[in-house]
């Protein structure tokens, strides 16, 4: 259908090479701090893009990603820790049997946590999608809380509040960016397909979607389960990046962070989610200074932990009032769009000189 298909594929390939070169550069010359920020960017791209699938594309305002990320993180940690390490970690009560002996390579654990989280998402979808709108948000919020409380109390599985420590730092730039690119690729393929159109139909008008024969329940389940899969793998990557996980990591704040990203990017736009994920991740590093003690001439400001969250919340409020469509609205990056834009703004200028 698109006459520029070949050209666009080449451009995508070139873009991919550029990313690989950039990562190589970052890995060779970047400080460990740079690398950490880049890893965080990739992880938040994964989480935001998959959250956007259910919240933005399908329009089902839900608040569960912290639950999915937690499930993914715990699953992967329990699978990659060696039996020995687990025995040492679980000091209060020993870990239950099959988990105590299972030990699989990182790559298989990624697949496993995706599948496990997807299964959780699928089961959870049945009660969740019996309700709509505000109720949907509340039910999913509750689910996130339940998962956190379970993580805190299921001593023999999660090691309770102590969490799991000493995970191997498997997640490097290649894993994080590789999977981020994979996530973006898969989800944009899905969104651009007939199934994606059906998801948008559910978002715009559920009654009309039913009228054209779309089973709205199963399509919401599809989006939710896919979202869970990618959130789960993202959680596993996160666990092996920070190497220590505990229930406090997976509070509502994680969801809130992701919510800011997808709203800022434009609900429904994958491109927007990516831009906002990078912007917020990088921005919260830059803004680190606001939480430190400051000396402004005569005034000494004490450290204010959580100040960055306040700033991001203010940005979110500002966006909701003045720019509800976010950075991208529902638009997406396309090579055709870029080239049209270049031809419109760059060529005339070039001719003039």
Partner 1 sequence: MSDFFAATGLTMKFGGLIAVNDFNISLSEGEIVGLIGPNGAGKTTVFNMLAGYYVPSEGSIRFRSQILNGRKANEITKLGIARTFQNIRLFSDLSVVENVTIAYHCRIRSTFLGAVFRLPLYRREEKEMYEGAMNLLNEVGLSHVTGERSNSLPYGMQRRLEIARALATGPRILLLDEPAAGMNPRETMELIDLIRRLRDAHRLTVFLIEHDMKFVMKICERIKVLDYGTTIAEGTPEVIQNDPRVIEAYLGEA
Would you count residue 214 as binding partner 1 (CB under 8 A)?
Answer: yes
Query: Phi/psi zone of residue 180: left (φ > 0), alpha (ψ -120 to 50 degrees), beta?
Result: alpha
Would you count residue 296 as binding partner 1 (CB under 8 A)?
Answer: no
Alpha helices in the chain (DSSP H): 5-29, 32-52, 65-80, 83-89, 97-101, 106-128, 133-153, 155-158, 173-192, 194-204, 206-211, 216-242, 252-265, 270-286, 307-322, 335-352
Nearest to 168 by CA among 245, 230, 55: 245
User: Minimum Å distance from CB 303 to partner 1?
Assistant: 45
* Residue matched to tokens 């989480």: 47
Nearer to partner 1, 153 or 215 (CB): 215
Per CB under 8 A, the list member of 14, 211, 320, 346 interacting with partner 1 is 211
Q: Determine contact, residues 234/46, Cβ cutoff 8 Å.
A: yes
Per CB under 8 A, the list member of 12, 153, 215, 244 interacting with partner 1 is 215
Would you count residue 207 as binding partner 1 (CB under 8 A)?
Answer: yes
Nearer to partner 1, 36 or 331 (CB): 331
Nearer to partner 1, 130 or 197 (CB): 197
Q: Cα separations (Å) of 198 from 235, 271, 286?
A: 28, 20, 40
User: Minimum Å distance from CB 210 to partner 1?
Assistant: 4
Would you count residue 208 as binding partner 1 (CB under 8 A)?
Answer: yes
Nearer to partner 1, 136 or 187 (CB): 187
Would you count residue 12 as binding partner 1 (CB under 8 A)?
Answer: no
Nearer to partner 1, 42 or 201 (CB): 201
User: Minimum Å distance from CB 124 to partner 1?
Assistant: 19
Contacts of 270 (CB under 8 A, 6+ apart): 49, 52, 184, 187, 188, 191, 332
Draw the binding track, 164-203, toward partner 1 (x: CB under 8 A; -: no contact). Answer: ----------------------x--xx--xxx-xx-xx--
Q: Determine contact, residues 112/98, Cβ cutoff 8 Å.
A: no
Residue 75 phi/psi, 5-degree rounding, is -60, -50
User: Minimum Å distance from CB 114 to partner 1?
Assistant: 14
Both tokens assigned to 234 = 């993202």
Would you count residue 291 as binding partner 1 (CB under 8 A)?
Answer: no
Contacts of 5 (CB under 8 A, 6+ apart): none
Would you count residue 33 as binding partner 1 (CB under 8 A)?
Answer: no
Q: Determine contact, residues 49/274, Cβ cutoff 8 Å.
A: yes
Would you count residue 282 as binding partner 1 (CB under 8 A)?
Answer: no
User: Minimum Å distance from CB 269 to partner 1?
Assistant: 12
Residues found near partner 1 in the complex (CB under 8 A): 1, 186, 189-190, 193-195, 197-198, 200-201, 204-205, 207-216, 222, 330
């Amino acid at each position: 259908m698109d006459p520029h298909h070949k050209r666009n594929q080449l451009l995508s390939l070139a873009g991919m090479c550029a990313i690989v070169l950039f990562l190589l550069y970052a890995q060779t010359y970047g400080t460990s701090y740079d690398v950490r920020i880049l890893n965080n960017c990739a992880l938040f791209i994964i989480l935001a893009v998959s959250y956007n699938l259910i919240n933005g594309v399908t329009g089902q305002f839900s608040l569960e990603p912290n639950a999915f990320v937690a499930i993914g993180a715990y699953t992967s940690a329990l699978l990659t820790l060696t039996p020995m390490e687990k025995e040492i970690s679980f000091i209060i009560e020993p870990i239950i049997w099959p988990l105590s002996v299972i030990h699989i390579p990182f790559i298989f654990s990624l697949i496993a946590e995706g599948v496990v989280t997807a299964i959780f998402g699928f089961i959870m979808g049945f009660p969740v999608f019996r309700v709509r709108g505000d109720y949907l948000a509340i039910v999913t919020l509750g689910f996130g809380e339940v998962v956190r409380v379970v993580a805190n109390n299921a001593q023999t599985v999660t090691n309770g509040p102590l969490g799991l420590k000493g995970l191997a730092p498997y997640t490097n730039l290649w894993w994080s960016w590789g999977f981020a690119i994979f996530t973006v690729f898969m989800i944009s393929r899905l969104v651009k397909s007939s199934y994606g159109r059906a998801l948008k139909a559910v978002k715009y008008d559920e009654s009309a979607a039913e009228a054209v024969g779309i089973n709205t329940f199963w399509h919401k389940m599809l989006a939710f389960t896919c979202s869970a899969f990618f959130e789960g793998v993202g959680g596993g990557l996160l666990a092996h990046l920070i190497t220590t996980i505990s229930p406090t990591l997976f509070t509502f704040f994680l969801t809130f962070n992701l919510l800011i990203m997808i709203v800022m990017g434009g609900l429904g736009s994958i491109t927007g989610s990516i831009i906002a994920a990078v912007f917020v991740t990088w921005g919260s590093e830059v803004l680190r200074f606001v939480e430190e003690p400051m000396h402004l001439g005569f005034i000494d400001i004490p450290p204010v932990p959580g100040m960055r969250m306040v700033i991001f919340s203010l940005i979110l409020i500002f966006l909701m009032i003045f720019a509800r469509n976010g950075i991208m609205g529902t638009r997406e990056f396309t090579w055709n769009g870029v080239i049209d834009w270049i031809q419109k703004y760059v060529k005339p200028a070039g001719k003039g000189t």
